[in-house]
Amino acid sequence: MAKSQLTFNKKERAKKKQQKKQEKQERREINKSNNNKGKSLEEMFAYVDEFGNISDTPPTQVYKFKEEDLHRPADIEDEFLYGKVSYYNETGNYGFIRDNETRETVYFNDKLAGMVLTLNQKVKYKYTRTKQGNQISEVELM
């Protein structure tokens, strides 16, 4: 009598393979039913109301701009800041100005300042951001 060629391991592998195929087919069916491709343009639109809420229905009335919406706020860089020279290197002719309010430091040298500043001198200044850090652009003595 001939012995069967199918062993327990072969049967189990075949079952697992068939189960994976079945799971893959089920995932395909789910993805097909949830497919968002091919929607019309109107179905893909999202509308934002004046309060920032997103909805799929268009607004009933057109938003009218107020006069204050059209004005840009004044730049902080347009105003002078107040501080004092917190560090000065006489051999290198450079130093730092510490802001009175934020306590941030701004770099300066004699060429940028256009004058020689001394330690603990009170100044009124403007600065710009550079890749090396903040540098003064204008300085006035107080």
Cα–Cα distance list, 108 to 122, 127, 134 (Å): 14, 9, 9
pLDDT interval class at 74 (50, 70, 90): low
If phi over 0 gives left and psi between -120 and 50 gives alpha, with beta otherwise, what is residue 97?
beta
- Average pLDDT for 89-117: 93
Kindly list the structural domains of the chain, giving each domain's residue range(s) and its CATH number in brackets, ordered by start.
81-141 (2.40.50.140)
Q: What percent of the chain has pLDDT over 90?
A: 47
Query: Which pLDDT does position 2 carry in this prediction?
Result: 61
- Could you read off the pLDDT of 18-59 as tens digits, one per residue? 999 999 999 999 888 887 677 677 777 888 887 888 988 888
Show the tokens assigned to 4: 């069967």
| Radius of gyration, alpha carbons of the chain | 36
pLDDT interval class at 95 (50, 70, 90): very high
